[in-house]
Amino acid sequence: MKYDVADVSLVAEGKRRILWADNDMPVLASIRKRFAKTRPLKGKNVAACLHITAETANLARTLKAGGANVALCASNPLSTQDDVAASLVKDFKIACFAVCGENRSTYYKHIYAALDNKPVITFDDGADLVNELHGRRAKDAHRIIASMEETTTGVIRLRALANQGKLKFPVIAVNDAASKHLFDNRYGTGQSTVDGIIRATDFLMAGKRVVAAGYGWCGRGFAMRARGMGAIVIITEVDPIKAIEASMDGFAVMPMAQAARIGDLFVTLTGDKNVIRGEHFRVMKDRAVVANSGHFNVEIDIPALKKLSKKIRRNVRNHVDEYILKNNKRIHLLAEGRLINLAAAEGHPASVMDMSFATQALEAEYILKYKSKLAVAVHDVPMEIEQKVCNLKLKSMGIGIDKLTPEQVKYLAAFGEGT
Ligand SMILES: NC(=O)c1ccc[n+]([C@@H]2O[C@H](COP(=O)([O-])OP(=O)(O)OC[C@H]3O[C@@H](n4cnc5c(N)ncnc54)[C@H](O)[C@@H]3O)[C@@H](O)[C@H]2O)c1
């Protein structure tokens, strides 16, 4: 088996972390148990470009239990947990090509290594595999039955491709499933972004002005958690509906130009580019902290920050670069503008990834079953899968809910029965 990981001697710690995460992933574990019996993915080659974390390892184990030959590569050069990668290879015999801190050329070398597995199903977090399958590796696209997309930015890229009429195979917008984004993006990114910032800086949230750019699922999760820790949270938005929601949820809402003057900590969670720019850095307070939790590191205009700086002190603390501006103010940029929750913390808690990855695993089974009916388009996850994942999760949480009575079913379906 071919692989490329940083250090196989980290295997024991990696296994401990994978099994620990598995304790909090009961839905995925129950699917793995069933897959081991029914083998719905038997003999299918799969490539997955995901954050190489303990939770992803448990997804890979589940796909393997279902009979798939899995090859993994990283969806971000800084998010790989090297111990997990070692255990995947040594303990679980799953091919993994990922090294934390890998440079751009190694990152792509690893993507190609995963594609060399000749996948019929791919999993992406940010659409990098699909992008290659429409570009330099277009020759491999004919094999793909369908591809799954885990994150908002990936779905946006894929919809753009579909709208241009260029999409070559069906893709599934796993991110858009309620069983994914309502929990993963909101509670997962919310908590782990706070975690990453605190681990990187030892920042005290209480009493600080924290600016969250974007009030989508990730933004509102982060804003909620920062407020819970006593921060005075300010939201910036471009969407008037989200801005009203943020305001009525009790947050201050203002343009970035105004927020830049008063914020102590800035976090971008938009999926957009250049949300914090030169004009904003110029008016920030001394020692303002700037981080990104959106998918790409383009949310912060780092070239503009470099231009404004007379000196850059790298790694003044792990994951912190200090930019000393020509006006003598210092800006602390975290994790080179890459996803702070994965670079400086451990990404989303396993308990929330349980639902996202259970949705992924069931969807893989589904597309093999219904492949002849899948048009070349961006598809939603079917409601039956969402319901199944949520029912299994509720069961694992020991929570029961009510069922509609036959009378209620009739009442809700009938028009005009109001008495
Ligand atoms: N850190 C993680 O682990 C993680 C997890 C899930 C998603 N993501 C990524 O986070 C990003 C946001 O995801 P989401 O699900 O919240 O998306 P979303 O579409 O729900 O929300 C994005 C919000 O940003 C706003 N926005 C866009 N441009 C803006 C600008 N210039 N200024 C202020 N607001 C702006 C939009 O109006 C929208 O409300 C995406 O890139 C997604 O891929 C990261």
Give the whole-angstrom CA distance, residue 350 versus residue 56: 9
Residue to mutate (ligand 1; options 225, 235, 295; most atoms within 8 A of CB): 295
Tell me the three state secondary structure of residue 29. helix
pLDDT of residue 51: 96
Nearest CA to ligand 1 atom 18: 216
Give the whole-angstrom CA distance, residue 392 versus residue 180: 14
The string over 87-97, giving b where at least 16 C-beta atoms fall within 10 Å of a residue's C-beta and e elsewhere, is bbbbbbebbbb
CA distances from 133 to 1, 109, 141, 355 (A): 23, 14, 5, 28
Q: Which positions ≥6 away from 387 have C-beta within 8 Å?
A: none
State which H helix or E strand residue 43 sits in.
none
How many angstroms is it from 418 CA to the middle of ligand 1? 41
User: Pick from 111, 82, 91, 96: which is nearest to 4 by CA?
Assistant: 96
Tell me the three state secondary structure of residue 212. strand
| pLDDT, tens digit only, all 419 positions of the chain | 999 999 999 999 999 999 999 999 999 999 999 999 999 999 999 999 999 999 999 999 999 999 999 999 999 999 999 999 999 999 999 999 999 999 999 999 999 999 999 999 999 999 999 999 999 999 999 999 999 999 999 999 999 999 999 999 999 999 999 999 999 999 999 999 999 999 999 999 999 999 999 999 999 999 999 999 999 999 999 999 999 999 999 999 999 999 999 999 999 999 999 999 999 999 999 999 999 999 999 999 999 999 999 999 999 999 999 999 999 999 999 999 999 999 999 999 999 999 999 999 999 999 999 999 999 999 999 999 999 999 999 999 999 999 999 999 999 998 776 65
Q: Are 276 and 213 in contact (CB under 8 A)?
A: yes
**CA-derived radius of gyration, the chain:** 22
Q: Which atom of ligand 1 is nearest to the CA of 348?
A: 3
| DSSP calls for 259-284 | HHHH-SEEEE-SS-S-SB-HHHHHHP
| DSSP calls for 131-177 | HHHTTTTGGGGGG-SEEEE-SHHHHHHHHHHHHTT---S-EEEGGGS
- The angle at the Cα of 15, spanning 14 to 19, to the nearest 5 degrees, equals 120
The first and second tokens of residue 100, run together, are 């934390």
Q: Are 68 and 48 in contact (CB under 8 A)?
A: no
How many angstroms is it from 182 CA to the middle of ligand 1? 13
pLDDT of residue 8: 97
The string over 165-202, giving b where at least 16 C-beta atoms fall within 10 Å of a residue's C-beta and e elsewhere, is eebebbbbbbbbbebbbebbbbbbbbbbbbbbbebbbe
Tell me the three state secondary structure of residue 251. coil
Residue to mutate (ligand 1; options 218, 293, 301; most atoms within 8 A of CB): 218
- CB atoms inside a 10 Å sphere around CB 232: 18
Which amino acids bring their CB within 6 angstroms of ligand 1? 151-153, 181, 185, 189, 213-219, 236-239, 242, 269-272, 275, 293-295, 339, 341-342, 347
State which H helix or E strand residue 28 sits in.
helix 26-38
Q: Are 14 and 85 in contact (CB under 8 A)?
A: yes
Q: Which amino acid, one-letter code, is at 331?
A: I
The first and second tokens of residue 366, run together, are 């589904």
Q: What is the pTM of this model?
A: 0.93
pLDDT of residue 77: 93
pLDDT of residue 153: 93
pLDDT of residue 17: 97
pLDDT of residue 414: 87
Give the whole-angstrom CA distance, residue 92 versus residue 17: 13
- CB atoms inside a 10 Å sphere around CB 280: 27
Q: Are 68 and 44 in contact (CB under 8 A)?
A: yes
Nearest CA to ligand 1 atom 42: 152
How many angstroms is it from 215 CA to the middle of ligand 1? 7
CA distances from 104 to 99, 135, 257 (A): 11, 17, 33
Q: Are 87 and 56 in contact (CB under 8 A)?
A: no
